[in-house]
Amino acid sequence: MPEGALEVDRISKRYGDVVALDEMSLTVRPGEMLGFVGSNGAGKTTTMRIALGVLAADSGDVRYDDAPIDRTVRTRIGYMPEERGLYPKMKVLEQLQYLGELHGLSRAEAARAVNLWTERLGIAERRGDQLQKLSLGNQQRVQLAAALIHDPAVLILDEPFSGLDPVAVEVMSDVLREMRDRGVPVIFSSHQLELVQRLCDRVGIVRRGRMIADGTVEELRSSAPPQLTVHAPQAPADWAEGLQGVSVVDSANGRTTLQLDETADDQQILRAALDTGPVHEFSRARPSLTELFRDVVTEETDE
Ligand SMILES: Nc1ncnc2c1ncn2[C@@H]1O[C@H](COP(=O)(O)OP(=O)(O)OP(=O)(O)O)[C@@H](O)[C@H]1O
């Protein structure tokens, strides 16, 4: 394992009869951003809470830098919990200053870090306000500042992008990229798959407490069957039905997305499309992360 990697190794966790995690494993290396995706209740928050050490696993290990996570390492993790959890009545500045000192910064270091991150996250003018007086998006920026204030060695963020406006999404994305580029392993959960696809070096898809797919977006996309987009404006809705090795993924306004298996013949498909009239587009593609994810979720309900 490279120095400074965070490893979750086959952790399991039950809540009574509910199996929240079933030998979940993941690794985030320094300088890497991992997007953690999965349906509601799949086990993302439970994994992150165990990785942070606020919740104990029934079995399995969490390691940082090849050693079990102890108290010292724990204080070096920047965590943004899903339930947020800052003090609503406390002023932004006092709150961040307090958290910095709690994580071992001196008074002056904490003050410098508060200035830096509130400036960087665009909330400098709100330093004197109570947290509860800020908009939800700005409260979230404060939460991120709280996770960053002690210059963490690892970042674990539970749905940091939920509810943010596009400008805030860009600010948050830039900061996470910057931390990644500084060599910090970053893991965040999200249901915004386009964002995960754009931002992350690797993606882990979790289903029922297990990691079922893990790789770069390109690896995951290229492991899926290829697709063909055909724009034939005069084609009837069922023009592709019955073609060898072809299933229709989507069809609207003369544009059809087909999924191909190895028996499909693209020249035969092209001829069939031309038989309907002009063909304006005929291009091969790989499914998006959203489509891959949908396939996984569909398999889940089919089981
Ligand atoms: N404190 C708890 N008591 C009982 N069951 C729990 C508890 N916390 C989580 N669970 C259950 O464990 C499973 C995993 O939940 P978890 O919150 O980790 O999922 P998640 O992937 O983060 O979901 P979401 O995307 O909705 O946030 C779910 O079935 C959930 O109901």
Q: What is the C-alpha to C-alpha distance for residues 207 and 213, in angstroms, rounded to an integer?
A: 9
Which residue, by CA, sits nearest to atom 12 of ligand 1? Answer: 20
pLDDT at 160: 93
User: Does domain 6-217 sit in CATH 1.10.150.120?
Assistant: no
Stretch (H or E) spanning 100: helix 92-102
**CB of 40 shorter than 6 A to ligand 1:** yes
**Exposure class string for 271-303: b at 16+ Cβ within 10 A, else e:** ebbeebeebeeeeeebbbbebbbeebeeeeeee
DSSP characters over 109-124: HHHHHHHHHHHHTT-G
> How many Å apart are CA 119 and CA 187, to the nearest integer?
24
* 261 exposure class (CB count in 10 Å sphere: 0-12, 13-18, 19+): exposed
* CB of residue 163 inside a 6 A radius of ligand 1: no
CATH of 225-285, one of 1.10.3470, 3.40.50, 3.30.450, 3.30.70: 3.30.70
- Please, what are the averages of pLDDT over each run of 10 residues along the chain (303 residues)? 87 95 96 93 94 93 91 88 82 94 94 95 94 90 93 94 90 94 95 92 94 90 88 93 92 92 94 96 88 70 43
Task: Report the nearest atom of ligand 1 relative to the CA of 43.
Answer: 18
Burial letters 182-209, b for 16+ CB under 10 A, else e: eebbbbbbbebbebbbebbebbbbbbbb
Instruction: Tell me if 32 sits within 8 A of 202, measured CB to CB.
Output: yes
Distance 36 CA to ligand 1 centre (A): 14
The Cβ of residue 111 has, within 10 Å, a number of other Cβ atoms equal to 16
Domain residue ranges in the chain: 6-217, 225-285
Q: What is the pTM of this model?
A: 0.84
Distance in Å, CA 291 to ligand 1 centroid: 24
What is the pLDDT at residue 301? 46
Q: How far is the CA of 292 from the centre of ligand 1 (A)?
A: 23
If we measure between CA atoms, which residue out of 26, 31, 22 comes closest to residue 3?
31
- The reported pLDDT for the residue numbered 302 is 41
pLDDT at 7: 95
Looking at residue 1, what is its pLDDT? 63
Amino acid code (one letter) for 106: S
Residue nearest atom 29 of ligand 1, based on CA coordinates: 41
Name the nearest CA neighbour of 133 among 200, 80, 189, 88: 88
Query: How far is residue 80 CA from its own chain's centroid?
Result: 13
Q: Tell me whether strands 67-68 and 246-252 are parallel, antiparallel or unpaired.
A: unpaired
